[in-house]
Amino acid sequence: MSKKRIVIKIGSSSLTSIDGTLSPLKLAKFCHAFAEFKKAGHDLIVVSSGSVAAGFKEMGYPSRPVTVRAKQAAAAVGQTLLMQQYRFQLTQYGLIPAQVLLTRHDFRDAEHYKNVSSSLSELLKRGIIPIINENDSTAVEELTFGDNDMLSALISGVMHADMLLLMTDIDGLYNKNPLLYPEAKKYKKITNIDEELFSQTDGTTTAVGTGGMRAKLKAAQAAQEMGASVYISTFRESESILKITEFSGEGTYIVPDTSRQMKTKKQWIAFHASSKGSIVLDKGASNAILNEGSSLLHVGVTDVSGEFSTGDVIDAYDEQGSLIGKGQAHLTAEKLRSVLKNESTASSIVIHRDQWVPMK
Ligand SMILES: Nc1ncnc2c1ncn2[C@@H]1O[C@H](COP(=O)(O)OP(=O)(O)O)[C@@H](O)[C@H]1O
Ligand SMILES: N[C@@H](CCC(=O)OP(=O)(O)O)C(=O)O
């Protein structure tokens, strides 16, 4: 059997008791499943929520706090308690966890982005289980939008995982929120995440969750685009992680339309880098870069905005004003403007096809 690499994201709802505090028993069951999967020789990366749940009681809050400030403080206390539990449990199986705290901003800078991948790779090489959470004390988005779902998708992309498992309190993705509509039907397999699917999910969360099913769907879409399959369900002891990766789970599978994984460099262009400028392409150039696999030459550029340097990511729009892709500039904005003004006959590459990512 070939070696698998998976990312498993555990939502707060899968780690908490009825009163919203961390449940060591639930955490222990996950660790048992991790140990079984690791024993079979596979790579596992965990993205675990639960720091707010683990910390709020010790902070003296009577119930899970609601303000971002209080959640940040509770997360700072709870993260140490969360890791203490993971360590305690995993040690019993001879496994070592490593704490990695990240924010989505860590992916924006190309150098940081490379570091995320190389440090996680080193941990995996040494058989260690990275346990990632958002750096809640500085990342406000996380506590507001439930970015652990998206973070886990980005991790599956950069680490070229075969599958992302989103573990939550519900056994799959339904065509309506089943808590409000008991007649809702569960999807077994999805290949295309479209607007209709988004309209069937809402931001409703469990008492301890953030972001709801919509955040999971957005994350699944990103993971799918990067080439990883996604599984959304609730954790059952009877279902091994291996079984889930073999497509025998009871939850919802979201499979990529192509089995090709997006190259790391292209992931950075598509999902992480912030654009430093934009260009508008005429019809011929849009067609050449989108459908003929050509690089973009200056003759097809009708407008340039912003100041960018070589290697910066820029947005490309068609004549109708729709974003058609992103790519790394092959020349500076200043040079491009001057080339366009001089009506030079020599062709200058504006975006090389290897540094171009089309947007749907
Ligand atoms: N179409 C849907 N299918 C399944 N669940 C949905 C749907 N729409 C909304 N939900 C809600 O999403 C919730 C899970 O999200 P969330 O509370 O953020 O979980 P977690 O803490 O595990 O990240 C479910 O409890 C459910 O109420
Ligand atoms: N980072 C926060 C959780 C934020 C989050 O994404 O929550 P969830 O929707 O439960 O995965 C924590 O550890 O409590």
- How does pLDDT run across 167-178, given as a tens digit for each residue? 999 999 999 989
Residue 146, pLDDT above cutoff 60: no
Q: Roughly how many angstroms between the first and final C-alpha of the chain, as a whole number?
A: 35
Residue 171 annotated in ligand binding: no
The pLDDT, as a whole number, for residue 242 is 96
12 CA → ligand 2 middle, Å: 6
Q: Is 170 in the pocket of ligand 1 (CB under 6 A)?
A: yes
Render pLDDT for 58-80 as a digit per residue (tens, 0 to 9).
999 999 898 989 999 999 999 99
Q: Are 149 and 134 in contact (CB under 8 A)?
A: no
Q: Which ligand is nearest to the CA of 170?
A: 1
Q: Whose CA is nearest to atom 20 of ligand 1?
A: 11
Beta strands in 122-258 (DSSP E): 129-134, 163-167, 189-190, 229-233, 252-254
Q: Does 125 have pLDDT greater than 70?
A: yes
Please check if 9 is assigned to a binding site: yes
- Decide: 12 in ligand 1 pocket, CB within 6 A: yes
**Ligand approaching nearest to the C-alpha of 53:** 2
Q: Is the CB of 52 under 6 A from ligand 2?
A: yes
Q: Residue 182 pLDDT more than 80?
A: yes
Q: What is the mean pLDDT of the chain?
A: 91
ipTM: 0.94
Task: Taking residues 155-162, report their average pLDDT.
Answer: 94
Total Cβ atoms within 10 A of residue 321: 7
Check whether 5 has a pLDDT greater than 70. yes
The pLDDT value recorded for residue 208 is 65
| pLDDT over 60 at 150, yes or no | yes
Q: What is the pLDDT of residue 281?
A: 96
More confident residue, 89 or 272: 89
CA of 8 to the centre of ligand 2 (A): 14
Q: For residue 195, with 0-12 CB atoms within 10 Å meaning exposed, 13-18 middle and 19 or more buried, which class applies?
A: exposed
| Cβ of 146 below 6 Å from ligand 1 | yes
pLDDT of residue 264: 82
Contacts of residue 318, Cβ cutoff 8 Å, sequence gap at least 6? 280, 281, 283, 286, 324
Percent of the chain whose pLDDT exceeds 90? 72
Cα–Cα distance, 277 to 354 (Å, whole number): 19
- How high is the pLDDT of residue 39? 96
Q: Please tell me whether 274 is known to bind a ligand.
A: no
Q: Which domains does the chain have, with CATH numbers?
A: 5-265 (3.40.1160.10), 274-358 (2.30.130.10)
Q: How much of the chain, in percent, has pLDDT values that exceed 70? A: 93
Nearest CA to ligand 1 atom 2: 177
The response to whether residue 205 sits with its C-beta less than 6 Å from ligand 1 reads: yes
- In the prediction, which pLDDT does 139 show? 72
**Choice between 138 and 254, residue whose per-residue pLDDT is larger:** 254
- Of the candidate ranges 30-44, 89-103, 118-132, 253-267, the one whose mean pLDDT is the lowest: 253-267
What are 213's two structure tokens? 């099913």
CA of 231 to the centre of ligand 1 (A): 14
pLDDT at position 341 is 87
Distance of CA 129 from the midpoint of ligand 1 (Å)? 27
267 band by pLDDT with thresholds 50, 70 and 90: confident
What's the confidence (pLDDT) of residue 360? Answer: 64
Q: Which helix (H) or strand (E) holds 290?
A: helix 283-291
Give the Å distance between the CA of 202 and the centre of ligand 1: 8
What's the mean pLDDT in 45-67?
Answer: 94
Task: Specify the pLDDT at position 322.
Answer: 94
How would residue 109 be classed by pLDDT, with cut points 50, 70 and 90? confident
Which residue of 47, 193, 205, 234 sits with most ligand 1 atoms within 8 Å of its CB, as the best mutation to test the pocket? 205
Query: Dihedral of CA 357/160/145/192: which sign?
Result: positive
